[in-house]
Amino acid sequence: MGRAVKLKGQGSRPAPRASAVRNQTPDIYTTVRDRICSLRYPPGTLLGETLLAEEFEVSRTPIRQVLQRLEYEGLVETKNGVGTIVSGVDFREYRDTYNFRLRLSEMLGDFCSPTDAPKALERIEQLVPRAAALSASPHNFDEFWSILHELHFSVNELIRNKELRQTHDRCYFQASRVWYNFVTDLWDEEVEYLNHELEECCRALRAADMRALGLVQRNYISFGLARIARFITG
């Protein structure tokens, strides 16, 4: 684990202003989670309750609730004498998460309703030109991250089973931290794969084929795992 550091001045990509959220616990959770998963808060970052409470203009109670939820999800850990810090990222530890995501995606066809396909299709079609434009905007990580988020949310909202939907969402964010460590070295490939995935998702949704949609997701998770594995030795 790296040295614990203070919140301010983290990383090369500045965190969004707290005014972007409505200062409610779910919004604070989402903002802090996104900062962790996009490495704005890299492993070892000290998440001080007082500083976060001041930033979001709330008491420490909702901040404590957010940190407890993040700890349950494995994104932070509490160190005696230190406080709550962002947990480390280990590809080998997250291999099981990736493999579980593969299985979850295979199940989507059984838990998604074709009647919801048009709405999801409309959302994902809007992502296609944005993804295509990434080729002309080298290393626009924030936009790339935003498109991936929207794709995930579009598919996640199709899941009718609450437990599966929550698990699908949690595993996505856990696995994304591993992927984000390698995206700089894989940028051209990642942009190409993203464009192909969007096209195939749209094709499945136009046919209202939820099983095909799940298999598209499963295939691209598998492709991503294979690309990351090239950087892992031992």
Global pTM exceeds 0.85 = no
Residues 158 and 194 both lie in one domain: yes
> What values do phi and psi take at 23, rounded to 5?
60, 30
In a domain, 7, yes or no: no
Q: Give me the pLDDT at residue 183, please.
A: 84
Residues 96 and 211 both lie in one domain: yes
Residues 51 and 117 both lie in one domain: no
Of the pLDDT bands very low, low, confident and very high (cuts 50, 70, 90), residue 152 is: very high
Q: Give me the pLDDT at residue 38, please.
A: 82
In a domain, 210, yes or no: yes
Taking a C-beta distance cutoff of 8 angstroms, is the pair 76, 86 a contact? yes
Residues 109 and 224 both lie in one domain: yes
pLDDT at 234 over 70: no
Residues 173 and 205 both lie in one domain: yes
Residue that is last in its domain, among 86, 112, 128: 86
Residues 45 and 139 both lie in one domain: no
Which CATH number does the domain housing residue 75 bear?
1.10.10.10
Q: Give me the pLDDT at residue 233, please.
A: 56
Q: For residue 53, give the nearest of 43, 67, 38 by alpha carbon.
A: 67
In a domain, 1, yes or no: no
Residue that is last in its domain, among 40, 66, 86: 86
Which CATH number does the domain housing residue 117 bear?
1.20.120
In a domain, 11, yes or no: no
Residue that is last in its domain, among 59, 86, 113: 86
| Domain extent at residue 170 | 91-229
Taking only the tens place, the pLDDT of each residue in 2-54 is 444 444 333 444 444 444 444 478 899 999 998 998 888 999 999 999 999 99
In a domain, 10, yes or no: no
Residues 96 and 181 both lie in one domain: yes
Residues 80 and 112 both lie in one domain: no
> What is the token pair recorded at 51?
């500083």
Residues 209 and 113 both lie in one domain: yes
Cα 20 from Cα 98, distance rounded (Å): 31
The structural domain count of the chain equals 2
pLDDT at 107 over 70: yes
